[in-house]
């Protein structure tokens, strides 16, 4: 059947909290590169803050995993619940448990939503050693 849930975007961060006002607080936002000083690097967990859209209300189970591309090594696998009270869009934080990074290179965070496993949501990112490269800002002369 048609996909119930579509993916708009994902923001990778250390932690996400929700205020009483309903506003989200994102802590430690990464760009597409996660730089670690040395390997192995223990991580207290990452949160993939996803904006999803659903064409119907409902509850879905999703299989989530974090994998290193070159080796196929899975850093963790788990289940998440996606709950839409009404059609529309919503922010869904997908948090990982603590894990250890043992290799640099390309990683994928993969979300397979029940009923639409053929079209997984994939968020790629890079792990590197050292300090991430920052674009240089030009000062006015």
pTM, entire model? 0.89
Looking at the predicted structure, is the pLDDT value of residue 85 above 90? yes
Q: What is the DSSP letter of 22?
A: S
**Burial of 3: CB neighbours in 10 Å, binned 0-12, 13-18, 19+:** middle
CA nearest to 25, candidates 14, 35, 36: 14
What is the pLDDT, as a whole number, of residue 36?
93
What is the pLDDT, as a whole number, of residue 32?
84
Cβ of 73: how many Cβ atoms within 10 Å?
12
- Identify the band that residue 140 occupies on the pLDDT scale cut at 50, 70 and 90: low
Average pLDDT over residues 45-59: 96
Average pLDDT over residues 42-49: 96
Looking at the predicted structure, is the pLDDT value of residue 1 above 70? no
């Amino acid at each position: 059947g048609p996909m119930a849930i579509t993916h708009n975007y994902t923001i990778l961060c250390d932690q996400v909290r929700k205020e009483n006002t309903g506003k989200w607080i994102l802590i430690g936002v990464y760009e597409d590169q996660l730089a670690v000083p040395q390997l192995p690097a223990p991580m207290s967990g990452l949160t993939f803050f996803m904006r999803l859209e659903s064409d119907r209300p409902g509850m879905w189970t999703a299989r989530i995993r974090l994998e290193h591309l070159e080796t196929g090594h899975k850093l963790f696998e788990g289940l998440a619940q996606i709950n839409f009270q009404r059609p529309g869009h919503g922010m869904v934080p997908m948090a990982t448990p603590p894990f250890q990074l043992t290799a640099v290179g390309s990683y994928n965070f993969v979300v397979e939503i029940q009923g639409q496993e053929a079209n997984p949501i994939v968020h790629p990112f890079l792990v590197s050693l050292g300090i991430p490269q920052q674009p240089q800002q030009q000062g006015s002369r």
